[in-house]
Structure 1
């Protein structure tokens, strides 16, 4: 059995089932029909039209025509079984061409209708006056058949559930039944439209809930305009988001406080490293401390971005800002026997961003590019007129399968790879908070190109 998971589908299905029962299975009030069946009456006058139609079809399928064209009724197994189940069943078939009773018909009914001469377009119900069963009904029908026009009278048919199946199969041959089905479909369509319109506020609420992420989790959903049945659900969702928001706020405060507390000891540590004599160990310590400071500063920037309203951002000159960052990293690149190049349009490129967020993003990307660039190579930082910045290296590149993973926290290609695995994760969060996009492409000739797209002013 198919389970309906959609509330709309379930309501529509129940509506259709109800209409089908009322309009098709219960032409008379359902309580009368059901009570009659339960009372043990096999013959139900309101359904006799269905019963006699099926019995008439069974009789016509027993019609036989010999080589001379003479018609006769030769009972089939179907007709014999039907008569066994309906002991009072009688029928008469009259050939309209000769106005004669077809051989094999009931002589009793034939005596009633054999003297009739006008049958065209006749259809009526009757009850035999000498029949003591007052609930017995019959129908005389004049219809066109593949064997010519025939007048068929049937009498004494009892209702059977097979009559309902027959009626459903032959809906195209029963105008009233067709009207019932057509009306059911029309009303079901109306019900579908009404139900979907009625549930529109719920769908709108679901769309709003689906759009929530960690940056918009402080929203509260109003119950105004929502169905009464959904109010407990809305209240539960609001309380759940409140609990999650409180937890996220605690985690953010903890991260910001931790980063802030680490700034002072790292500054002291770096000043002490600088007092050491020049050596390979000093150079490595200075590099590691600088990397830790960078991560701490990035965490602080990220915490500030999440706590502040991003609408406070101001237009910034990307040419000036990127040039300053590239200039700062030129000595580091030279110390590592590498080069760095800045490619920019001649005019200013403006973007509405937080300057310290852009600094954090580019600092991380450029530092990674210098680390990946081969000795003697050149890192290229390219600023496009649509506020797009490319940071290009010519190192080993990033495999397509890893391009989503590199932005995950603590992910590193190899266990022995340098770094904490936090830098690119922080970069991606900052880019998303600024409303921008970041992705990785191949550098022609080998390497990786990190492309950041900001919103141009």
Structure 2
């Protein structure tokens, strides 16, 4: 992707160069228009001066350079006389009219346009300093091209043009730098406004009053995207809540039907499955409430909630032949801040997962510590050398996955500013922890369930 600053600087540089060349051309044109004959005289004299070589022992030599040959080819009536310290070189003598003074000329240094003796034509007289004497050039009938006039003008005024070019380039560079900084700061301002929008409140928008005019279309497009995203999220949340609510009725009817099952083993298995489905539906409803409303955190005694959840699952654990127990590191209350119903639902999902998915487990233990609760089992584990554990994933594809429960637990903990952390050792069991902001940082080897 092209840098805005680089593109802006390059564009300004090209535009500045074009403007400078146009201005230079305009100055040259005005100079020629104001003193046309003087400009032609100076250009022709400059060409002749570059071609003239002074050799005190051999005289004057007019070199056959490209510019002098162009001048001869475009000027059929060209004539010139060059003299230096008594030495003379002449071209087109037969075309030279009578001059108003005798040769050699010994006048002041400078450029002049004089009339011939018969007053029918004009010629250029140029006297320039070269070495210890003056180089005198008289030129008539010269047809000088625009490029040669421009070259002569630039050579004569090179120092002034150079200083102006430096000043112009410095001004453009400063303007480009300040413009780039303004653009960068404007983009940073819009970025800060976008980052200030709470992820839990995507319906918020960027205030267009604080956005520069050039960036308002971009900010408006971002606001529209935020609104569409928020509408999509709200539809998904409504669907989640409605689906969970609609599932309650058939689950209640199914629970009543199970009572008519006469086979004890089948009845016990069906009861466990329906209890797990009911737990998932309750978790979905809790999650929908959390997502649709800003949660109001209140102090929760995590020890009380854990004991209640374990008591609820005791019948299922007895039916499965699994021992449920509670171990508390610190005595007394363990207080965290959150929504009690949601925390209870998350903990119930972890206990239910341990009872259903911990294949070969004989014991499930709830460990309470400051700001956290962990559900540990001594089952087969979930994956050899796991690096990341995703919701709905298991270590063995032939077995049933964690299902929706673990994903809901992760969402509940994210809403509380906490984390769901899983550690597993193949053959020795799995530990799933609810860690609240009140807890310390995660220890090495723990696996965070990724945010979605």
- The residue aligned with 2:179 is 191
- The residue aligned with 2:169 is 181
Contact 2:383 2:394 in 1 (8 A): no
Match 1:259 to one of 233, 244, 247 = 244
Mean alpha-carbon deviation: is it higher for 217-226 or for 349-358? 217-226
- The residue aligned with 1:22 is 19
2:383 and 2:136 mapped to 1: Cα distance? 87
Q: Indicate how the Cα distance of structure 1 residues 188 and 304 shifts in structure 2: closer, same or farther if over 3 A, else same.
A: same
Residue 421 of structure 1 deviates from its aligned partner by 2.4
Contact 2:105 2:136 in 1 (8 A): no
Match 1:317 to one of 292, 301, 305 = 301
CA deviations on 1:68-101 (whole Å, 9 max, x unpaired) are xxxx99979xx54x55556599xxxxxxxxx999
2:62 and 2:12 mapped to 1: Cα distance? 46
Aligned pairs for 1:321-360 within 5 A: 321-329=305-313, 332-333=316-317, 335-347=319-331, 348-360=333-345
Aligned pairs for 1:141-180 within 5 A: 159=147, 174-180=162-168
Match 1:434 to one of 395, 416, 426 = 416
Residue 227 of structure 1 deviates from its aligned partner by 3.1
Give SS of 2:210's match: coil
- The residue aligned with 1:417 is 399
Residue 397 of structure 1 deviates from its aligned partner by 2.9
Contact 2:328 2:368 in 1 (8 A): yes
2:121 and 2:417 mapped to 1: Cα distance? 86
Aligned pairs for 1:271-282 within 5 A: 271-274=256-259, 276-282=261-267
Residue 353 of structure 1 deviates from its aligned partner by 0.8
1:180 and 1:191 mapped to 2: Cα distance? 16
- The residue aligned with 2:201 is 216
2:31 and 2:383 mapped to 1: Cα distance? 80
TM-score by length of 1: 0.64
Aligned pairs for 1:383-398 within 5 A: 383-385=368-370, 387-393=371-377, 395-398=380-383
Q: Indicate how the Cα distance of structure 1 residues 335 and 284 shifts in structure 2: closer, same or farther if over 3 A, else same.
A: closer
CA deviations on 1:123-171 (whole Å, 9 max, x unpaired) are xx856768999999999799xxxxx9xx9999979637997xx99xx99
Residue 36 of structure 1 deviates from its aligned partner by 10
Contact 1:412 1:421 in 2 (8 A): no
Contact 2:237 2:288 in 1 (8 A): yes
How large is the Cα RMSD of the aligned pairs?
5.9
Larger radius of gyration: 2
- The residue aligned with 2:443 is none
- The residue aligned with 1:306 is 291
Show structure 2 runs of 5+ residues with no match.
54-59, 79-83, 92-102, 440-452
Q: Indicate how the Cα distance of structure 1 residues 316 and 10 shifts in structure 2: closer, same or farther if over 3 A, else same.
A: same
CA deviations on 1:159-187 (whole Å, 9 max, x unpaired) are 37997xx99xx99x955543433333223
2:342 and 2:224 mapped to 1: Cα distance? 33
1:275 and 1:192 mapped to 2: Cα distance? 78
Show structure 1 runs of 5+ residues with no match.
64-71, 90-98, 107-111, 119-124, 143-147
- The residue aligned with 1:403 is 388
CA deviations on 1:181-227 (whole Å, 9 max, x unpaired) are 33332232222223434xx2x54334544676874232244322333
2:26 and 2:366 mapped to 1: Cα distance? 82
Q: Indicate how the Cα distance of structure 1 residues 372 and 296 shifts in structure 2: closer, same or farther if over 3 A, else same.
A: closer
Contact 1:44 1:158 in 2 (8 A): no
Q: Indicate how the Cα distance of structure 1 residues 236 and 85 shifts in structure 2: closer, same or farther if over 3 A, else same.
A: same
Give SS of 2:209's match: coil
CA deviations on 1:262-286 (whole Å, 9 max, x unpaired) are 2233134224424533522112211
The total of aligned residue pairs comes to: 410
Q: Indicate how the Cα distance of structure 1 residues 83 and 226 shifts in structure 2: closer, same or farther if over 3 A, else same.
A: same
CA deviations on 1:411-452 (whole Å, 9 max, x unpaired) are 666665335721222222222222223344444975544343
Give SS of 1:438's match: strand
CA deviations on 1:227-261 (whole Å, 9 max, x unpaired) are 34555555555455445544543443333233123
Q: Indicate how the Cα distance of structure 1 residues 251 and 224 shifts in structure 2: closer, same or farther if over 3 A, else same.
A: same
Match 2:189 to one of 193, 199, 204 = 204
Match 1:361 to one of 346, 356, 363 = 346
Contact 1:431 1:438 in 2 (8 A): yes
Match 1:456 to one of 396, 413, 438 = 438
Contact 1:44 1:159 in 2 (8 A): no
